[in-house]
Amino acid sequence: MTDAVKINCGNTKMVAHRGLSGLECENTLAAFIAAGNRDYFGIETDVHVTADGGLVVIHDDSTGRVSQTDLPVEGSRFDELRALTLNARDGRPRIDLRIPTLEEYLDVCRRYGKISVLEIKNAFGRTDLERVAEAVKREYSVEGLIFISFCYENLVILRELLPNAKLQFLCGEKVDDALADKLLAHGLDLDIHHSCLDRAAIELLHSRGIAVNCWTVDDPARAEELAGWGVDFITSNILH
């Protein structure tokens, strides 16, 4: 696989899931730069806090799936995690792939003019969310970033810290008025599994002023269907 299939997206914006993870190893600078060199609107990634307070970019709670060494991310020091060599997509260690810092990811988004879509993994304490907010202000911009999280309380705290930030609640729930009310209580948009969406669901959310992102769509036909229904964002590993 060398590149993504092109589709008619209309006004729908495409987001590269964990970077261009259908081409490069997920959540690495290589994946972020690959997405930066293409016409994606945004680049999504995941941030964890290390045992000594570092902010690192990795999806899982441990490193075993992406490295030959299995360490708990939140139970390890930054230098221990940084020393690991990550695997290429074929599973073999690739010496140039390391776990990036949040700042390095934000730098790629800034340099390549991409919107950062930043998932706050797990439940963060207020102090750690403050540190993430300060890193975003310092290295990127609050206005150019979308925070996403499965943890509703993360988003509630971020709304207090950053009143004008764009926030999306991650879920796989049924779309109904109860979900819309939950989102509107703190000015949240939605990032939902694409299987939960149909035209009526998108119309309901839009009628309440809620923008809709969906994950993770790799089938071009499904992506075109969602775009035709007016979904605002599609998050994809790669369309193929």
Q: Return the domain boundaries, the chain.
A: 13-236
Q: What is the pLDDT of residues 137-195, one digit of tens each?
A: 999 999 999 999 999 999 999 999 999 999 999 999 999 999 999 999 999 999 999 99
pLDDT at residue 15, as a whole number = 98
- Ranges of the chain with pLDDT below 50: 1
- Range 13-236: architecture per CATH: Alpha-Beta Barrel (3.20)
pLDDT at residue 185, as a whole number = 98
3-state SS string over the chain?
CCCCCCCCCCCCEEEECCCCCCCCCCCCHHHHHHHHCCCCCEEEEEEEECCCCCEEECCCCECCCCECCCCECCCCCHHHHHCCCEECCCCCECCCCCCCEHHHHHHHHHHHCCEEEEEECCCCCHHHHHHHHHHHHHHCCCCCEEEEECCHHHHHHHHHHCCCCEEEEEECCCCCHHHHHHHHCCCCEEEEEHHHCCHHHHHHHHHCCCCEEEECCCCHHHHHHHHHCCCCEEEECCCC
Q: Please return the burial class of 78, using the count of CB atoms within 10 Å of its CB with bins 0-12, 13-18 and 19+.
A: middle
pLDDT at residue 3, as a whole number = 59
pTM for this model (two decimals): 0.97
